[in-house]
Amino acid sequence: MERLGNQVAIVTGGATGIGRAVVELFAKEGAAVVLADVNETEGQRVADAVLAEGGRCRFVCCDVSQAKDVEAAVDEAVRHFGKLTVAVLNAGIDVVGTVVESSEEDWWRCLRVNLGGVFLGMKYAIPQMRTAGSGSIVATASIQALLGFRAYAAYAAAKGGIIGLVHQVAVDYGGDQIRVNAICPSTVLTPMCDPELTAATDPKALIQSWAAPHPLGRIGTPEDIAQAALYLASSESSWVTGQAFAIDGGVTIRGFH
């Protein structure tokens, strides 16, 4: 039985990494999916692969920091698939630096994409979910909203803001049967890791060092996070809202030491 039959979802940042895994899993579970991403080449390739497997998927080029792009992506879901009931607001960028080291440009760019993209996704998705009669919003935050890391000031601020926003929106729209939750991954092997792995003299040893603090002994895969998103998007979580789930191999109960 398909867990997302009759659902229409938008997934931001769906061309690679966690977003791609979400797109592929949701399509396999019966959802019609709008893949929204700035990466046109990979986004269209993923959408074509889903279609080739018999799924329903459309690619839309979308910069989540731009209101017109996000509104257009939501409109495309409704125009092509008839409604919108699920939004996985996943697009994000990685910015490194302390508050002293970070430029104002990098600070605001990180907040515009990572936090502003979630705000805009909610802003345009919620009216369509109200029309549909219910909905589920899943935002990708991070354990960096829960634990202190060195030199990730802008990133942590944006991800922490997502959790606060999730709490607020869950209260504001619960009466419309719109559920809003956040997922907080720990280290996940995605293309965001590529610069560090490329620069490393021993990439395998670097991955092992990332895995070491996790009680389960490994870092995450995009599929690990996609499974959590599937639960939150499905009717199985119908009494779950306003929560921030650490999907982290147990690292938040131990810390990075």
- Catalytic (active site) residue 152: no
Q: Which is the catalytic residue, given 124, 155, 173, 231? A: 155
**How many C-beta atoms lie closer than 10 Å to residue 40's C-beta?**
12
* Residues 6 or more apart whose Cβ sits within 8 Å of residue 153: 97, 98, 99, 102, 107
Three-state secondary structure readout of 120-147:
HHHHHHHHHHHHHCCEEEEEECCHHHCC
Q: Is 103 exposed, middle or buried (0-12, 13-18, 19+ CB in 10 A)?
A: exposed
Q: Distance between CA 189 and CA 99 in Å, rounded?
A: 26
Terminal-to-terminal C-alpha distance of the chain: 43
Q: Which residues are marked as active site?
A: 155
